[in-house]
Chain A
Amino acid sequence: MSAPSSVTIGLLLPDVLGTYSDAGNATILAQRLRWRGIPAEIQTITARDAPPTGCEVYLLGGGEDTAQLFAADWLRRHSELRRAMETSAVTLAVCAGLQILGQSMTDTRGKHYAGLGLLDITTAPGRRRSVGEVISTCAIPGVGPLTGFENHRGITTLGPGTTALGRVVTGNGNGTTEAATRHRTEGVLTERVIGTYLHGPVLARNPALADHILERITGHPLPPLDLPDQSALRHTYL
């Protein structure tokens, strides 16, 4: 990927999928670029906007059930955006945002809804909500343990060729296990999509994951940032 001179972060549907404050991920990515001298812009894309297809990153967050179905429908209507997410951009999708990128979702009454089909995952409701702190070991080398707060009722099953973002140490995560190893999984990791159930927002608690996304976009390693309170924050949860 050629390094862009300026990075555009597409914050998708914060008006619909904004319940869990995941829009903070956009601020975090933009500031971490700016602090390193790389210009960055956040484009807020609401349900009324025609989505731009040239963003380097797209972000999706968590939301309520009706909002989630609305968002899935909106994404399916904008096929050029889907193509950009599939071919040129990196996408971070959290909670409901993760679920709608999959093949299908099932509601508590057993009704099925189609997802965007960008990820080979399916989600059905569990018996009760998973609410609380999660720690996982991240599958991306060098990122280390991930910390976040989960609050969902989804049980997400990964297709045979699909990799999890991490293995659960504490908490629930996807609510399913890897077939071969029986490890409990959290999130999804593909070449272009990072999906997770972690709020916090996830990039506030895990700056190494933020920098991993930024290094994918810029195509080169970024110098370390020493943010006050960051290590105290991780120490609180890890």
Chain B
Amino acid sequence: MSRLGAMVVRTPGASPAALSPPGRRRLGWWTGAAVRAGLATASLSRRLGLGAGSIIGGRVTLALDRQALRRLATGRRVVLVSGTNGKTTTSHLVAAAVRTAGPVAHNAGGSNMADGAVAALAEAQDADYAVLEVDELHLTAVAQAVDPAVVVLLNLTRDQLDRATEVGAIASALGRALAQHPRTVVVANADDPMVVSAATQAGHSVWVAAGASWLGDATTCPRCGRTLTFTDTGWECECGLARPTPDWWIDAGKACTADAVLPLDIRLPGQVNLSNATMALAAARALGVPADRAASALREVDVVAGRYAVVRRGSQDLRLLLAKNPAGWAGMASMLSQPRPLLVIINAREADGRDTSWLWDVAFEQFTCHHVVASGERAADLGVRLSYAGLNHQTVPDPLAALAALPPGEIDVVANYTAFHQFRRRLSRERTATR
């Protein structure tokens, strides 16, 4: 499997991904009308200040034509980016890399279900490439519709257990889906046993040693349930499932393959983003994009749908970060290494997962040197967790009021999904009001 993947990497011109040539889309009059109706709705939604409009626009199009996603994707070379954490960031990196080869349709805002994909494709109908972030629970359906050239599978850990199913079940469903696309190149994380159990079902895999910051959900074999053996160089199970030999790896801050060493000159912080960038380069190369051009394009990405942005508010500089589950927090730990004050905002709405238990698998104990304020609609859940972690902290449910409890200067703000978007909206409304 990995041998085949490596072959694909070394001869991009002959890769299966390159077989379907790009061409004009002929949507047909009905799909065309559905797309125009969706775009008009999106534009109206934006003008009314209701949001970016991509979800509602995509929904209108899909309601009028259930085949819209398939028709909009026809003739394009599509990369799907999926996994539990890092989808939005990695899709931005892949899009930057692929843009060196031509215009790209991209759901940059992170609307990662079928409606978001439809909206992104409708808004860039002339783009021959598409890079679509896809929720791992929707990958099967979206892949069915768009017949992707490349699928990037980053990691699979637990997230929103109340909405999703357990991780092992997701991995086996993804494996079955990938088996149905034998010409698709799957760029997969060799260090994540859940990802490997799914990606070994694919016709062509490119394995990336992307690391795993948190293996709390992968201590037992996703295939047989036995305990996995982890060593310095990999992992294996008695049943035969083992870490594949990587085609790509990171060495001294550079992305390496058998025939190339590429600088990872990125502006995004943290080890986890070096991994995301390497996955992006592997995806771009599988698509036939020259790797050196792709590598230098990664530097363009600095802010990803508001994440990593630094926002000045009064005497404070707020660095906005998003972490929504234990694996996300583990990947972010290296970014929070300086003892900067820390505002943590936690909600438990549908998109966050209603159950806050996951806070107990975040190693908050490591932040004893930080000045921490607990905030958000579930500030009390977080506050109790922080007390048991031995952190002296304050609890202020309203995030803007919480900022008043912190000193001037640089502050890290870490929020989960809906908390992050609420906070950004309130900051921007505040700025509009004072302008």
Instruction: Enumerate chain A interface residues (CB-CB to B < 8 A).
Output: 15-16, 18-24, 27-28, 31, 46-48, 64-67, 69-70, 131-133, 149, 151, 199-201, 204, 227-230, 232-233, 235-236
Contact = CB atoms under 8 A, between A and B. Distances in A.
Contact of A204 (B219, B224, B388): B388
B361 A21 contact: yes
Contacts of A227: 384, 387
Given A201-B357, A232-B380, A19 B161 contact: yes
A78 to B, nearest CB: 15
B356 A200 contact: yes
Q: Is the interface of A mostly helix, strand, loop or mixed?
A: mixed
Contact of A16 (B169, B220, B326, B374): B220
B220 A200 contact: no
Given A66-B220, A149-B355, A227-B384, A236 B378 contact: yes
B245 to A, nearest CB: 26
B167 A229 contact: no
A48 B227 contact: yes
Nearest to A233: B380
A21 B162 CA distance: 13
B399 interface: no
Pairs of residues from A and B, 10 with the lowest C-beta to C-beta distance, nearest first: A24-B360, A229-B383, A66-B225, A232-B380, A15-B219, A233-B380, A21-B357, A149-B355, A21-B360, A64-B166
Nearest to A48: B227
B interface residue count range (under 10 / 10 to 19 / 20 to 34 / 35 or more) = 35 or more
A74 to B, nearest CB: 9
Of A15, A66, A236, most B-chain CB atoms within 10 Å:
A66
B395 interface: yes
A228 B384 CA distance: 7
Q: Is the interface of B mostly helix, strand, loop or mixed?
A: mixed
B86 interface: no
Contact of A64 (B167, B358, B390, B395): B167
B380 A229 contact: yes
B357 A200 contact: yes
Given A15-B219, A204-B381, 18 more contacts: A15-B227, A18-B219, A19-B166, A21-B326, A23-B361, A24-B357, A31-B390, A46-B227, A47-B220, A48-B227, A64-B169, A66-B168, A66-B220, A66-B224, A69-B225, A200-B356, A204-B388, A232-B383
Interface string B156-173: 001001100011110000
B161 A20 contact: yes
Contacts of B167: 19, 64
B357 A233 contact: no
Given A232-B380, A236-B378, A20 B357 contact: yes
B185 interface: no
Contacts of B354: 132-133, 149
B174 to A, nearest CB: 16
Given A27-B388, A229-B383, A70 B355 contact: no
Contacts of A200: 355-357
A54 to B, nearest CB: 24
A18 B357 CA distance: 11
A31 B380 CA distance: 18
A18 B216 contact: yes
Interface of B: 158, 161-162, 166-169, 216-217, 219-220, 224-227, 326, 354-361, 374, 378-381, 383-385, 387-390, 395
Contacts of B216: 18
Contacts of A66: 168, 220, 224-225
A70 B388 contact: no
A70 B162 contact: no
24 contacts: A18-B217, A20-B355, A21-B358, A21-B359, A21-B360, A23-B361, A24-B357, A24-B360, A24-B385, A27-B388, A31-B388, A48-B227, A64-B169, A67-B220, A149-B162, A149-B357, A200-B357, A204-B381, A204-B384, A228-B387, A229-B383, A230-B380, A235-B380, A236-B381
Contact of B357 (A64, A69, A133, A199): A199
Contact of B379 (A21, A199, A229): A229
Of B161, B220, B374, most A-chain CB atoms within 10 Å:
B220
A224 to B, nearest CB: 15
A112 to B, nearest CB: 17
Of A46, A69, A232, most B-chain CB atoms within 10 Å:
A232
Contacts of B360: 21, 23-24, 27, 201, 204
A146 to B, nearest CB: 15
Contacts of B166: 19, 64-65
A101 B395 CA distance: 39
B373 to A, nearest CB: 12
A132 to B, nearest CB: 7
Of A21, A70, A132, A200, most B-chain CB atoms within 10 Å:
A21
A77 to B, nearest CB: 13
A214 B296 CA distance: 59
